[in-house]
Structure 1
């Protein structure tokens, strides 16, 4: 197969932990040719979407992590699959990319995750479709509404709707003297909606990343355990990643969501679960594959290639 990955700039990727690179390595080991595309290289003209694609050979070393091959402009229909793996921010340019990828899909390109599904699934707000699994949650931008929720629940987490890696996440208690300025800052003076959730003490045991690949639940989660004195478990915020088997509660949530999300064309999904509560559904570029594979021996990147091979052999979308 010829697999194209739409990535962040190659020299900015951290090869020792990057899930996209792990998938490229897994594909290359099976004899598939991999290509890298930059999002800004996408072009639509005459009914076709094309891009400048760099053929590359992934290396086992991290510096450098690839050997470059030929670079050429190709239609996205020339690939057996195109994987959109660029990190947020989910800004207007990201949305534009999903529109272009949707046109490529219309022309016959196999794009994962489906561009419409990426666009329609806000990684924070997507959980509101499944209220039976989530903690007490309110999405609002009026300070009075946010304050009323904090007064009701006493101990809360406040976060922007477009953040990643734990950025701008605040734990706010009812008696916090800074709560008004935190709300003012996060809502940009009541001009931006935010999410406020009841604090989950189970975070001490880790903010779990549960992966779903091609509608199949990976049997291990990565518990991102906060460092001392920190609320956030995100690895980018200094959390420690420990792989462990899924609990019954985590498996129940994941197995309920798996067929629904796969039917929407979401090949790779990362659920965030604290205790037995769902807090996010990540669909842009879910990570933690390298850590789970290294600690358990379960080949998560290989599972992605399995799903792509199966999909290609049947020539069927979910």
Structure 2
């Protein structure tokens, strides 16, 4: 299998879920290619090309750190390949984490992937589904209200103040487009710096106000789904609690210093999965992260969900073999059915 991972930038990518998945792909004997999102090349008369690195085979015993050092080594040359030589294109860049000087990178990966997908390469997640869910917090609002906290999306200050009053003078404000816990604020009865906060967030787009869930003080739980089911390996489930050691910090993002812990699946979490999964499967979203507090889904990540790189440290399997085997099965189904199965169907076929 020839598989290419699209990440934001090879030179700056940190070790995370994408990297541990790449390492497992190679360990299972596949041809691994890695590219930055800025390295698509369009020809009007031939398949799209990719400027990428083909990663030489390395011993399975090599650590993930040494593996990634090898990929990032400037002496490992780039080459240009045709997208028609690939079996799978795995989109793992996160558009919402791009800096202000890289607006071009936000949509380009998905846009080129749509074209490559139409040529017959398996794209994960489905590129048209990714386009639809590009603003994942807005995609989140398409889910049934019974599993979500009350929320409002607006750029109007008066609307936000009215929501704050109706929510018992306690709400969370965050940008509609963004991730990693950046520019997320808890607004309580003191309303400290509220005008400044609203101006800061709304300057870059819409604001989402969400009712505050007191249980968030205990952290949230990241549930990783694959093919619309909770990712499972060796009888263990990919359910990870994220807790911030700072009692005054209500955000539980690992990027902001929260700690990962092994968590148990509750019936409330399972209900959220059961309600969410049919839509994810229909839309072609292969690999998705759900963030849950108590009995409410507070966020969904369809662009580049993470968490697998923490699993081994907290007593869980690394889950990467299960993910790669699932991709292998999709390629087998594709060989059997040729063009009878759409990319969207294959993307979530178990």
TM-score (norm. length: structure 1): 0.92
1:306 aligns with 2:321: no
Q: Per the alignment, do residues 177 and 72 of structure 1 end up closer, same or farther by CA in structure 2, a change over 3 Å counting?
A: closer
Structure 2 unaligned spans of 5+: 232-236, 335-340, 346-350
1:12 aligns with 2:12: yes
Contact 2:262 2:316 in 1 (8 A): no
> What's the offset of the Cα at 1:76?
1.8
2:95 corresponds to: 88
Flag as ranges the 4+ runs of structure 1 deviating above 4 A: none
1:283 corresponds to: 302
Contact 2:260 2:314 in 1 (8 A): no
Contact 2:9 2:35 in 1 (8 A): no
1:169 aligns with 2:184: yes
CA distance in structure 2 between the partners assigned to 1:87 and 1:292 by the alignment: 21
Which is further off, 163-172 or 28-37?
A: 28-37
1:225 corresponds to: 243
1:292 corresponds to: 311
Which is further off, 67-76 or 25-34?
A: 67-76
Counterpart of 2:79 (choices 72, 78, 81) is: 72
> What's the offset of the Cα at 1:64?
5.7
| 1:251-281, Cα deviation, whole Å (9 max, x unpaired) | 2211332232133221110111111111111
Which is further off, 152-161 or 227-236?
A: 227-236
Which is further off, 251-260 or 200-209?
A: 251-260
| 1:118-175, Cα deviation, whole Å (9 max, x unpaired) | 1211221112111221101111110000010011111110000121110000000133
TM-score (norm. length: structure 2): 0.84
1:132 corresponds to: 146
> What's the offset of the Cα at 1:66?
4.7
Contact 2:114 2:128 in 1 (8 A): yes
2:120 corresponds to: 108
CA distance in structure 1 between the partners assigned to 2:192 and 2:228 by the alignment: 45
Q: Per the alignment, do residues 164 and 215 of structure 1 end up closer, same or farther by CA in structure 2, a change over 3 Å counting?
A: same
1:54 corresponds to: 53
Contact 1:210 1:220 in 2 (8 A): yes
Structure 1 unaligned spans of 5+: none
1:200 aligns with 2:199: no
Which is further off, 65-74 or 97-106?
A: 65-74
Q: Per the alignment, do residues 61 and 308 of structure 1 end up closer, same or farther by CA in structure 2, a change over 3 Å counting?
A: closer
- Cα RMSD of the aligned pairs, angstroms, is 1.9
CA distance in structure 1 between the partners assigned to 2:266 and 2:159 by the alignment: 34
CA distance in structure 1 between the partners assigned to 2:275 and 2:321 by the alignment: 23
Q: Per the alignment, do residues 293 and 80 of structure 1 end up closer, same or farther by CA in structure 2, a change over 3 Å counting?
A: farther
| 1:194-223, Cα deviation, whole Å (9 max, x unpaired) | 100111111122121111112221223211
| 1:24-56, Cα deviation, whole Å (9 max, x unpaired) | 111112111211011111112125211112111
CA distance in structure 1 between the partners assigned to 2:164 and 2:84 by the alignment: 50
Q: Per the alignment, do residues 108 and 297 of structure 1 end up closer, same or farther by CA in structure 2, a change over 3 Å counting?
A: same
CA distance in structure 2 between the partners assigned to 1:65 and 1:177 by the alignment: 44
Bigger fraction of residues in strand: 1
CA distance in structure 2 between the partners assigned to 1:8 and 1:103 by the alignment: 19
- Match of 1:67, SS state, is helix
CA distance in structure 2 between the partners assigned to 1:70 and 1:175 by the alignment: 56
CA distance in structure 1 between the partners assigned to 2:312 and 2:86 by the alignment: 27
